[in-house]
Structure 1
Amino acid sequence: MADGATANGQSGILGWIERSGNKLPDPVFLFFWLIGILVVISIIASMMDLSAAHPTDIDPETGAARIITAASLFSAENIQRLWVEMPKTFTHFHPLGYVLVVMLGAGVAERAGLFGTAMRAGVRNAPKIILTPIVVLVGMLGNLAADAAYVVLIPLAGILFHAAGRHPVAGIAAAFAGVSGGFSANLVPGQLDALLFGITEAAVETVFGDFTANIAGNWFFIAAMTFVFLPVIWYVTDRIIEPRLGVWDATRAGRAIDEEQGDTALTDGERSGLRRAGLAILFVVALWLFFLFGPGTPLIDESANPEAQLNPFYQSLVGGFFLLFLLAAWAYGSGAGTISNHRDLVKMMSGSMEDMAYYLVLAFAAAHFVAMFTWSNLGLILAVNGADFLGSTGLPAWALLAAIIVVSALLNIFVGSASAKWALLSPVLVPMLMLLGISPEMATAAYRVGDGATNIITPLMVYFPLILIFCQRWDKDFGLGSLAATMLPYSIGLLIAGLAMTIGWVVLDLPLGPGASVFMEVPTTAPVAATP
């Protein structure tokens, strides 16, 4: 039976994964189903008087811990809250504002052609001896470009490998591993950081009240991931995948190959645009340094405690990335001829919001799931009891975080959306780990390691069919099983490397980013109650 038969229900692990995953509803309706289940569980928990004694919220007069009890979501108060506060529940969902602001700039950069041209410039003239690491590095950095990395770099990598006398599918595999397997790895924070830390912020607030996320809280960690993952993907490509593929046979091509397609030289306008974009980026960086160190130090709160003085700077990074992407895109477009005037710019900004339509629907469902989880107090009770249980096991922090990585990697095979999975996991995991002295930034970092490793082997990943089509251009018999088998060594290598890096990071207690540590003091702030 051909490998491609897997897509139509072939038996075996890949067929089982595909059939099982296809039975799951769309992530939007998955949240609606979970809300229904949550309502039923909250009613039962309330009838059973499920409760927990919070270990850090002590009454100073009696010395007794406050008792947290489960609240029914079918109570009159919570029914009223659901319908009266629905607009507030949606618009106050932290990831929503973070992502939309960043995408206003990043969407313009994609539409103007900045991301695509920058990736082409980065790989097309790479020396053959370092072609693989250049493709992989550009792929990981291309995560900032979202969809553009998939539709521009991955097919281009196949063409470049073919032109270098190497197997083109190996180039596609290397690029796919860099873009998707190294999804969280990058040298700078970006859209994904705004999205995930927005969800983390919401998760912390379900238990501990007001909390402001630092979207640079994983900066050092993801930068290190870039240099850890790069040699792994390079080794797997050159030592495992390409020897396995053998010499490319032109007779197996799915259609006639145009050697120049997608690998055209940069035009004078594109070169001019890249130069202007570089100057725009330098301007934004200089502007933020001026805000940080200039008169009045607007991005430093000099009246705060030393550890909190840079909070305004961290909070400004969402706006900073918006301005950086926007001005760089405008500068590129003016040089390349893709943006003629301000009307083109506004049209591209509007188009970037059109692309976010599905995310808005998903955010509506996720926001209500997270909010109702808070109202029920179940997240708090599970976090307290879970922390007590994990504390009694005596497991070290690195073992707990390694377990989270493995769970995230397994769940990723069935639920492809990074934001959907984190919205499901974070309301329990983040507060539970905080009660054990592990920071929200560390919990987020561990999730990111697991989430990326299995992106490249699940047929449910949204771009998996597209990558299959790219491969079939060079090998008409290349099927779904072929692609999964090709990417499996990358997935195993990235998971092992990510686990080792995370364990080492925790053991050495290295900073995760500016102002972000692995460990924290157990919160003493009174948890959020369910009363309206």
Structure 2
Amino acid sequence: MHSSTTEQQGGPHKRTLFTRFLDTVEWLGNLLPHPVTLFAIFCVAILLASGIAGYFDVSVADPRPEGAKGRAADGMIYVQSLLNAEGLQMIVTNLVKNFTGFAPLGTVLVAMLGVSVAEHSGLLSASMRGLVMGASRRTVTFTIVFAGIISNTASELGYVVLIPLAAMIFHSLGRHPLAGLAAAFAGVSGGYSANLLLGTVDPLLSGITESAAQMIDPDYSVGPEMNWYFMFISTFFIAIVGAWITDKIVEPKLGQYDHSQASEDVAAASASKLNDDEKRGLRNAGIAVLIVSGILALTIVPEWGPLRHPETNEVAGSPFLKGIVAFIMVFFAVPGIVFGRTVGTINNDRDVIDSMSKSMSAMGMYIVLVFFAAQFVAFFKWTNFGQVIAVGGADFLQTIGLTGPALFFAFILMCGLINLSVGSASAQWAITAPIFVPMLMLVGYAPETIQSAYRIGDSVTNIITPMMSYFGLILAVACRYVKNLGIGTLIATMLPYSMIFMVGWSILFYVWVFVLGLPVGPGAETYYNFNQ
């Protein structure tokens, strides 16, 4: 059923066409199996395809110079079959190693140990409420989008806490609650990859990127911090643009809110303000952040800093950056403990351990997914399919002349379209990175730059696909304020964000990388020379 809001926005004819498009996206997405099953199917497909390609000696010329590590004597790259005795031995003996050695597994779990303490102590929730509810009427839209972006550090927090809170705040201010919901949703999900701080998504993606890059350069490493500069500036860009879209496009189209459309419990709902204990907890946690930041700065800022590079004495490639995941854990855990002790949510070491264990138990599905994703990535690497496809694809791109900014615009758009059906950032990147990272490296671009472009495409269409895991929750919150609101209405409301984010963020990427020539992160290169 569709609400009258949709009819007002586009009329019956346009609504029907739009609804058909949405129904098609939803139908195609529903055809896909669970991501775990999808990776299992891909593993079987790789085995069969490698047997066929190996039988026919499928190969390409290796573009790397003579003497390069991993280059065959005859200068060719052959698809290696896994449907033989040697392949079976590799699979059996490396099954556990593929899983435990999969880079994103350990880094994400370690980072989550610290984030979980900050989340379960109440620090992150109090921070979000304090930030949003303390904003003036003039700045509230920007603050909500901005808070949504930085809430991504703690995965579910933005969806579960901030989005309902934003709708409630707009309603209390006499503004349309769906506009508040849309602004928060745009920040939390549409700006998913942007952030001021490194979060769990950074080591997750960088580990996959590193594995893909090593198909071309076995010694290549990609750190979690390699997109930080670009994602830091993207936070403010998305917050400003998201607030403008809300105030100038979305809220005017929604019109005056009809309070009769709200459910009965909306009138009684109210956003809880920070109490005195929480305010004192935030103050103490802020002091703890300053102390932790000061201690970490002493290890890297002075020339004698013990965590500088032992040979070059530079920050680039230093133990500090290589161990950034450990510092993410500490940076969240210590203020979380201080806040919890202040407000009474953490009283002893058992409470800290319990908060960590709760988050680890919630990661069960992720661990299962990683097991199958790790096997797929390993199989793909062993068979040389990634290198063969990458060389062929790079030759094709050079033949048609698709390079530079045009190549990345096309890549971002393609990632956004794939994201309509494969909503998980890690699942999509685990599938696409082994193909596109080597391919674009051969064209001359560094993995860090490629990953930055991917993160744009993966983020901007989250808000318009029913395949996004929290889409049902968002729809349920929206229905509290507009009864019988249809999925088409919600997606139509979010579509301006998706379209403008896609164009604007891509232009920001173009200006940052190709016009200003700035690195996307500390020590990150823009270009890659595979002949070096």
DSSP 3-state at the match of 1:215: coil
Compute the displacement of 1:155 (Å).
Answer: 0.5
SS at match of 1:208: coil
How does the TM-score come out when normalised to structure 2? 0.93
The corresponding residue for 1:528 is: none
What is aligned with 1:529? Answer: none
> What residue is the counterpart of 1:441 in the other structure?
448
| In 2: Cα distance, 1:63 partner to 1:138 partner | 52
Q: How many equivalent residue pairs?
A: 517
The alignment status of 1:70 with 2:70, answered yes or no, reads no
Contact in 1 for aligned 2:316/2:523 (Cα 8 Å):
no
Structure 1 Cα separation of the partners of residues 484 and 340 of structure 2: 40
Q: Distance in 2 between matches of 1:475 and 1:492?
A: 24
Q: Please state how far the C-alpha of 1:53 moved relative to its aligned partner.
A: 1.7
Equivalence for 2:2: 2
Bigger shift: residues 316-325 or 203-212: 203-212
Distance 1:15 1:399, change over 3 A: same
| Residues in 1 aligned to 2:19 and 2:518: alpha-carbon distance in whole angstroms | 45
Aligned CA-pair RMSD: 2.1
Q: Assess if the C-alpha contact under 8 Å between 2:118 and 2:124 holds in 1.
A: yes
1:486 matched residue in structure 2:
493
Residues 291-317 of structure 1, C-alpha deviations (whole Å, 9 max, x = no match): 1145853211241496x8543221121
Offset, 1:63: 12
Counterpart in 2 of 1:195? 204
Q: 1:205 aligns with which of 214, 238, 259?
A: 214
Other-structure match for 1:373: 380
Instruction: State whether structure 2 residue 240 is matched by structure 1 residue 231.
Output: yes
Q: Deviations over 1:114-162 (max 9, x none)?
A: 1111000001121111111011111111111210111111011011111
User: 2:150 aligns to what SS in structure 1?
Assistant: helix
Q: Equivalent residue for 2:60?
A: 52
Cα distance in structure 1, aligned partners of 2:530 and 2:312: 21
Distance 1:2 1:321 in 2: 44
> Does the aligned pair in 1 maintain the 2:204–2:426 contact within 8 Å?
yes
Q: Which residue of 1 aligns with 2:438?
A: 431
Question: In 2, are the aligned partners of 1:54 and 1:65 still within 8 Å (CA)?
Answer: no
Post-superposition shift, 1:196?
A: 0.7
Q: 1:291 aligns with which of 274, 281, 299?
A: 299
Task: Measure how far apart 1:417 and its partner are.
Answer: 0.3
Question: Counterpart of 2:430 in structure 1: which amino acid?
Answer: A
Percent same amino acid at aligned positions?
A: 43
How far apart are residue 523 of structure 1 and its match?
5.5
Looking at structure 2, the residues matched to 314 and 520 of structure 1 have their Cα atoms a distance apart, in angstroms, of 21
The yes-or-no answer on 1:504 pairing with 2:511 is yes
CA contact (8 A) 1:140 1:185 kept: yes
How far did 1:66 drift? 2.0
Q: State the AA in 2 paired with 1:319.
A: A
Work out the CA distance in 2 between the residues paired with 1:491 and 1:164.
Answer: 26
Indicate the residue corresponding to 2:285 in structure 1.
Answer: 277
Q: 2: CA distance between counterparts of 1:214 and 1:364?
A: 22
Does the CA-based 8 Å contact 1:159-1:168 persist in structure 2? yes
1:389 Cα offset (Å): 2.1
Query: Partners of 2:260 and 2:219 in 1: how far apart?
Result: 62
2:76 is paired with a residue whose SS is strand
Structure 2 residue aligned with 1:170: 179
Report Cα offsets for 1:277-334 as digits up to 9, x if no partner: 112211221121111145853211241496x854322112111001111111111111
| Cα deviations by residue, 1:445-493 (Å, 9 ceiling, x for unpaired) | 0000001110000011111110111111111121111101111111101
Is the contact made by 1:57 and 1:65 (CA closer than 8 Å) also made in structure 2?
no
Correspondence for 2:49: 41
**Match of 2:164?**
155
- Residues 302 and 309 of structure 1 are in contact (CA less than 8 Å); yes or no, is this contact kept in structure 2? no
Residue identity in the other structure for 1:16: T
Residue 97 of structure 1 corresponds to 106
Separation in 2, partners of 1:216, 1:173: 30
Distance in 2 of aligned mates of 1:233 and 1:25: 33
Matched, 1:301 2:271: no
Q: What are structure 1's unaligned runs of at least 5 residues?
A: 525-532
Aligned with 1:12: secondary structure?
helix
Contact 1:99–1:191 (CA under 8 A) maintained in structure 2: yes
Q: Please state whether the residue corresponding to 1:55 is helix, strand or coil.
A: coil
1:191 deviation in Å? 1.1
TM-score when normalising by structure 1: 0.93
How far apart, in 1, do the equivalents of 2:284 and 2:267 lie?
Answer: 32
Amino acid at match of 2:252: P
Residues 428-461 of structure 1, C-alpha deviation per residue, up to 9 Å, x if partnerless?
A: 1111212222111111000000011100000111
Measured in 2, the distance between the counterparts of 1:298 and 1:52 equals 46
Aligned-partner residue type, residue 285 of structure 1: S
C-alpha contact 2:405 2:514 (8 A) present in aligned 1: yes
* Amino acid paired to 1:220: Y
**Corresponding letter in the other structure for 1:449:** I
Query: Which segment is superposed worse, 274-283 or 344-353?
Result: 274-283
Structure 1 position 107, deviation (Å):
1.5
* Whole-Å separation in 2 of the counterparts to 1:186 and 1:410: 23
Query: 1:412: how far off?
Result: 0.5
Following superposition, the deviation at residue 265 of structure 1 comes to: 1.9
**Contact preservation (8 Å) 1:59, 1:65:** no
- Helix, strand or coil: the match of 2:422? coil
Taking the aligned partners of 1:298 and 1:479, their CA distance within structure 2 comes to 58
Alignment pair present for 1:30 and 2:38: yes
Structure 2, gaps ≥5 residues long: 7-17
Quote the Cα distance in structure 1 between the aligned partners of 2:193 and 2:103.
20
- Alpha-carbon distance change, 17 to 287 in structure 1, aligned in 2, over 3 angstroms: same
Residue in 2 that maps onto 1:185: 194
